[in-house]
A and B are shown apart, each in its own frame.
Chain A
Amino acid sequence: MVSVKERIIEVILFLCSLLTVLITLGIIVILASETFNFFSKVSIIEFFTETEWTPLFANKKFGILPLVCGTLLVTVIAILVALPLGLTIAVYLNEYANQKFTAVVKPLLEILAAIPTVVYGFFALTFVTPLLQRVLPNLSGFNALSAGLVMGVMIIPYISSLSEDALRAVPKSLREAAYGMGSTRLQTAFKVMVPAASSGIIVSVILAISRAIGETMIVAIAAGQEPKLTLNPLTSLETITTYIVQVSMGDVPRNSIEYSTIFSAGITLFIFTFLLNNISFVIKRKYHQKYE
């Protein structure tokens, strides 16, 4: 009797963990089937080569490039902020600061990642953009620059915390050998510790990139809704995520071509983040083996 009960409980627990696989399958099936519908009406060549994205206008064009370009431009700005700051903070906390300081500062910085993104959107639109406009008079009200800068600050803790963990996992003997050779803390940090922790640091950066690509509310509020194939951060543009929000807020009839565009945009986004996440996972696996 007891063993039957044990068995039933195990099966229930198993089914709960199986659910996570079904979620992934559900995402893939739903995105793929609606995208299939989409490509029965729009040529796949147009999707990848057309330079305009105007599904909501009378003259419809379906080129994903402007959305991808907007997404990548904001992401690059965010990483340009987060990577130098995050890595410097990680090195400082690990090599220079005393433990008490680290214990206080690390959780404080992690608050940055806990603030809801809609709040950052508000901050970018109503504080950072007006501030930047004083220095850059031709900055438009919606722009990639302030959205990217604010997003960069938001993802600092992703890089600083994960890189700090990676640095801390480096065996102490390596650091002491460097000191023994007469290295300064700076030399030890960047010539010994950072290279030794490089895979962990790369993982943190990839995760931060993936987070930035999928980020929605900051760009939806502060970067505008004009799909443009441009590298100019001072004008308004549109990211993949903003487009999905834009369609969801409007009155688009189901089964229309406009409605199915959110799935083709969605699967593009999903493929980007899926690849990045898997790359980081593979690196993480290798890195754990290295120190075992």
Chain B
Amino acid sequence: MNNSQVNRIKDTAFKFFAIACTFFGLLVLAVLLYDILSKGLTRIDLDFITNLPSRRAASAGIYTALLGMIWILVLTVIIAFPIGIAAGIYLEEYGKRNRFANFIEINIANLAGVPSIIYGILGLELFGRILGLGNSILTGSLTLSLLVLPLIIVSTREAIKAVPKSIREAAYGLGATKWQTIYSIVLPSSFGGILTGLILAISRAVGETAPLIVIGALVYVPFAPTNPMDEFTVLTIQIFNWVTRPQAGFVTNAAAAIIILLLFTFMMNGIAVILRNRYNKKTRF
């Protein structure tokens, strides 16, 4: 066998090894989904969604955790989106070439890499203790807002960057001011990209557990929260609580709650993918 044949064989061997690696990742994903579905699917019924938490696995439900999650999400959206989009607009449209913007860019890259549990410590001290908001829904959503802010800023900048200069200049040529151009030309044409980023931010917030544990979210909340100052729990913390209990019934509950959580996550990511594809096709100028 000559050298070139050996090289060919190596090449083919690597190809099959690589295909195996690729499918290994997908296989783990499939096994994970199958495992969770087989453990939890039969547990899901209307009672599971509408029941309050209970010390008995069979009658426990996720009602308060779901409501807590929705409260947290709505407030996070209200707090983080305007600030994140505004910051993204500033960095891309106003302060693009100065030193401050350069510094902020490094800073945002850093913030995106800070472990989420550190945001929990920040929220615990800043919102819980110094501002006196305790372990309320408001503390939770302020904390998650800080966490998703870098994500929103980066995706807003990416979306705005994709708007070509020519249509901006056309607006200026018609006598529009900078803000008029941004508000009525740039934002509408980058809307799809910004929205994609926002949905991914929501998906991230839904899946977070650690920072909410650190700020003191409870594991057992026997009432539905009614205002932002109430104590709360969320779906991920409920799952964590059930996983750590020894009785078998709670493992089933955890799997069932995970199915609901994954439905949310996949729905959000699916919408984001569809939006991105549609937006990419639409806005070729």
Q: Taking beta carbons and an 8 Å cutoff, which residues of A are in contact with B?
A: 2, 5-6, 9-10, 12-14, 16-17, 19-21, 23-24, 26-27, 30-31, 34, 84-85, 88-89, 91-93, 96, 105, 107-109, 111-112, 114-123, 125-127, 153, 156-157, 160, 182, 184-187, 207, 210-211, 213-217, 220-221, 241, 244-245, 248-249, 254, 262-263, 266, 269-270, 273-274, 276-278, 280-281
Contacts and interface: CB of A to CB of B under 8 A. Distances in A.
A169 to B, nearest CB: 17
A5 B117 contact: no
Given A24-B111, A217-B209, A254-B129, 11 more contacts: A17-B87, A20-B153, A30-B125, A85-B24, A107-B273, A111-B29, A216-B116, A245-B213, A273-B113, A273-B115, A277-B109
Contacts of A244: 117, 120-121, 210, 214
Nearest to A93: B22
A17 B104 contact: yes
A96 B18 contact: yes
B278 interface: no
B150 A20 contact: yes
Interface of B: 4, 7-8, 10-11, 14-15, 17-19, 21-22, 24-26, 28-29, 31-32, 35-36, 39, 82-84, 86-87, 89-91, 94-95, 103-104, 106-111, 113-122, 124-126, 129, 146, 149-150, 153, 177-179, 203, 206-210, 213-214, 216, 219, 236, 239-240, 243-244, 251, 254-255, 258, 261-262, 265-266, 269, 273
A187 B84 CA distance: 45
B115 A16 contact: no
Contacts of B87: 13, 16-17, 19-20
Q: Which one of A34, A91, A116, A281 has the highest number of Cβ atoms from chain B below 10 Å of its Cβ?
A: A116
A291 to B, nearest CB: 18
Contact of A88 (B18, B91, B255, B273): B18
A186 B14 contact: yes
